[in-house]
Amino acid sequence: MKRLKLLSWRRWRLQTKLIFLYIPLIVFPTMLGFYFFTSAYNTSNRNTATTYSQSVIQYMSEKIDSQLSHYETVSRQIFDDPELQQLLTQAPKTQYEIMNHKNQLNNRLDILVTTSDRKYIRAIVFLTPIGHYVYGEEADYKDQQPEFLSTISNNGGSVEWFPPLQFQSISKTFTAFRLARSIRNFDLKEIGKMYMVIDAKLLQDIFNESKLSKEAAIQIISENDSHKQIIVSNNKPEFGQGRKPIIIENALIHNEWSLAASLPLDELYTTISKMTQLAVLITLICIAMALLATYFIVIDVILPIKKLMQNMRLGIKGRNPSSLIKFRGAREIIELNDTYISLMYEIYNLIGEVVKNQAKKREAEIKLLQNQISPHFLYNTLNSIRWMALIQKQDNIKEMVDSLTKLLSYSIRNTDELVTIGEEIDVLKDYAKIQKVRYQDFIFATEIEEGLESVYTLKFLIQPLIENALLHGLSSINWTGIIHLKVRRDSDVLLIQVMDNGIGMDEDTLENLQSNLKQKSGMRESKHIGLTNIHERVRLHFGERFGIKISSEYKKGTSVNLYLPLISTIEERDFSYENGNDR
């Protein structure tokens, strides 16, 4: 299992994967492409060479047949010439007559045999009962062999070709064919035999004139009784040798001869071998380029990724963002690293702010506990005053003391920060009763959306808003003041509105107050301390999304909107309300 894990693809390093992928992707297509290319190239060249060679061999066969037919025609002209037949039947007696007779034969043959024919005709020999006549080069043509003579006689005047033999003249040895036939008179009686000695150089010249490869081996083959005999060749002994040579054979018209050629393809395979070497070289170059590309990818991608991972590990350990390193590499990775460092700075700053806010919150809780000492003393004192009012039958004083006692009791007995909206409004009503002693001409009205009485909020959060409306809104007017408290839902937010019809604020005062609410706590002015404290308290508990918004119009009144989260149970008080859009 451990070995399988080591071989697992996901456990491999990126550079190993790149090398593992690059080499097959380069080598295999290159080798396959080269294989198919060379195969197609080999087949195409072989087919082209075969087609071309067949056409050349066909042309050579036709030319050889044409030449042989021409010499048969020449022999036919000699055979049919009556003057020549007459000369052959004469029997000269004296030496002079013999010389004259020979000259007459030569003159007649000069007419029948053209100069171009005499290029390859070495001699024309006549064998008669009277004598032996040679026109051309004198040599031992081996014409006294019984088999040779009987073959001519038995052929009935038709042409007979004899295979080439080597003959010895006075000056040299040469190879030649013999074309023979019997000479007959008009009564078809044989008066002699004639044969033409044709130099084998005729076929050699035809071979040499062909446009086949210099390495091609060409032969004329005779088949007798299933036995093949080479009549003549171009002296290339390696017929049929080499790597898969092309062998072409074409039958001639004469004497059951055939023309055969063997074309070695060594040059073609030499070219393929060179192409193979070139392909291997190209493959090695491609592999080197792939490794070089892998190296640059390692430098530009893999190493920066490792450094980015190192930064992330340092960030997880809580290191100061200033200790995180910057590096060079691919642009995208650099941007990712810069973004990560910026994010770590944001987290670092947010943690600092959270620590500060927690410290402020703790300080406020300590102050609240300290301030609870005074309400205990006041509560006992007010209880004594209440009993004195009862004894003196001062009911208005009793009601005022009862309301104040409820306020103090509410602040003492409920030590939890969160209270229900219903409890908070009951306390506000007692507070309004107390304030009506001083500000007699005002109305306090409440409007609560159904189901919101049980929603939780911070204790004593609304009372400063009512007090602010009395002191700054209704204290200086000469008409009946109204404070309208409205609690409703606004999407997923609890909205508490405190509206009055008091003196209001001019634009400069309103703008100054709104600007003061937006400032950080240490930078705010000392004016409107009640509103700013509420705003700060809400944001400390519930986040930047919540707080106070104020609208006002001079001599028409002021509206304070307090945005709070909807808290249905005490367990929700520690929930983070930072999600959502800021108002």
DSSP annotation of 321? G
Q: Give the pLDDT score at 569.
A: 79
DSSP strand pairing (257-263 vs 173-184):
unpaired
Token look-up 């080439």 returns 164
Could you tell me the two tokens for 294?
């892998």
Q: Which CATH number describes the domain made up of 81-204? A: 3.30.450.20
414-573 to CATH, choices 3.90.1150.10, 3.30.565.10, 3.40.50.1820, 3.40.50.720: 3.30.565.10
- pLDDT band at 224, cuts 50/70/90? low
Q: Give the pLDDT score at 169.
A: 82
Tell me the pLDDT tens digit for each residue of 170-187.
878 888 888 898 888 777
Of the two residues 161 and 380, the one the predictor is more confident about is 161
Beta sheet of 257-263, edge-to-edge order: 227-233, 217-224, 257-263, 246-251
Alpha-carbon span 428 to 455, nearest angstrom: 16
Give the start-end residues of each E strand in 285-340: none
By three-state DSSP, how is residue 418 classified? Answer: strand
Mean pLDDT on 34-53: 75
**Which of 129-138, 341-350, 492-501, 510-519 tops mean pLDDT?**
492-501
Alpha-carbon span 432 to 437, nearest angstrom: 9
Greatest pairwise CA separation for the chain in angstroms: 206
Could you tell me the two tokens for 386?
């209440």
pTM: 0.45
Residue 448 clears pLDDT 70, i.e. is over it: yes
Residue 149 clears pLDDT 90, i.e. is over it: no
Mean pLDDT on 520-541: 71
Can you give the residue ranges of every domain in the chain? 81-204, 414-573
Q: Give the pLDDT score at 495.
A: 95
Q: Give the pLDDT score at 576.
A: 46
For residue 542, give the nearest of 576, 568, 567 by alpha carbon.
576
Give the start-end residues of each E strand in 225-275: 227-233, 246-251, 257-263
Residue 536 clears pLDDT 90, i.e. is over it: no
Alpha-carbon span 118 to 297, nearest angstrom: 83
Of the two residues 191 and 213, the one the predictor is more confident about is 191
DSSP string, 486-527: EEEEETTEEEEEEEE-S----HHHHHHHHHHHHS-GGG--ST
- pLDDT band at 383, cuts 50/70/90? low
Mean pLDDT on 28-48: 74
- Amino acid in the structure at residue 252: L
Which bin fits 555, alpha (ψ -120 to 50), beta or left (φ > 0)? left
Residue 563 clears pLDDT 90, i.e. is over it: yes
Residue 464 clears pLDDT 80, i.e. is over it: yes
Residue 521 clears pLDDT 60, i.e. is over it: no
Tell me the pLDDT tens digit for each residue of 483-501.
999 999 988 899 999 999 9
Tell me the pLDDT tens digit for each residue of 73-86.
888 888 888 888 88
Distance of alpha carbon 364 from the chain centroid: 63
DSSP string, 77-135: HHHH-HHHHHHHH----SHHHHHHHHHHHHHHHHHHS-TTGGGTEEEEEEE-SS-EEEE
Least confident of 147-151, 247-251, 561-565: 247-251
- pLDDT band at 526, cuts 50/70/90? very low
Q: Give the pLDDT score at 579.
A: 46
- pLDDT band at 208, cuts 50/70/90? confident
Q: Give the pLDDT score at 516.
A: 85
Q: Which helix (H) or strand (E) holds 550?
A: strand 547-553
Mean pLDDT on 111-132: 86
Tell me the pLDDT tens digit for each residue of 302-332.
788 888 888 888 888 878 888 888 888 778 8
Alpha-carbon span 567 to 558, nearest angstrom: 27
Token look-up 């600007």 returns 515
Q: Give the pLDDT score at 142.
A: 85
The answer to whether 166 and 201 have CB atoms below 8 angstroms apart is no
Q: Dihedral of the CA atoms 346, 350, 352, 353 (nearest 10)?
A: 140
Residue 238 clears pLDDT 70, i.e. is over it: no
Alpha-carbon span 300 to 469, nearest angstrom: 66
Residue 6 clears pLDDT 60, i.e. is over it: no
For 406-410, the CB contacts below 8 A with 24+ separation are: 406/430, 407/431, 407/434, 408/375, 408/378, 408/379, 408/382, 409/379
Least confident of 6-10, 108-112, 554-558, 576-580: 576-580
Buried b (16+ CB within 10 A) or exposed e, 549-583: ebebeeeebbbbbbbbbbbeeeeeeeeebeeeeee
Q: Give the pLDDT score at 361.
A: 73
Q: What is the mean pLDDT of the chain?
A: 78
Alpha-carbon span 531 to 518, nearest angstrom: 12
Residue 370 clears pLDDT 60, i.e. is over it: no
Q: Give the pLDDT score at 551.
A: 93
- pLDDT band at 337, cuts 50/70/90? confident
Residue 507 clears pLDDT 80, i.e. is over it: yes
Q: Give the pLDDT score at 561.
A: 95
